[in-house]
Amino acid sequence: FTTQDQPRRSLQKRMQSILAAISKSRGCVRQIENLNPSGAFEQDILNRAKVLLAQDKNYNKGFKFDHIWPILKDIEKFGDDHSIATPYF
């Protein structure tokens, strides 16, 4: 690999970890939504999902991507597909 490939690999690795966390979080949100919490607002559901996510040893330090959650939460890739997407550059 050349030194020019390093930034690309670094970006790919970062995107994979972001997409994995978003996918895992979306699954937690879906589980909470399936409980049909009456009167729960979107933020309440998200907070409960974060508690559920923190039970996973890989995410016990919490969800680090609150700043991009609103952007990525509804993209098609996370709709019904539970697989972790691999970005293509």
CA dist., res. 14 & res. 68, Å (int): 13
Looking at residue 54, its pLDDT comes to 93
CA-CA distances (angstroms) from residue 2 to 7, 8, 28, 62?
A: 10, 11, 39, 35
Higher pLDDT, 5 or 42: 42
Give burial (CB, 10 Å; 0-12/13-18/19+) of 77: middle
Confidence of residue 78 (pLDDT cuts 50, 70, 90): low
Average pLDDT over residues 5-22: 89
**Tokens for 88?**
């293509």
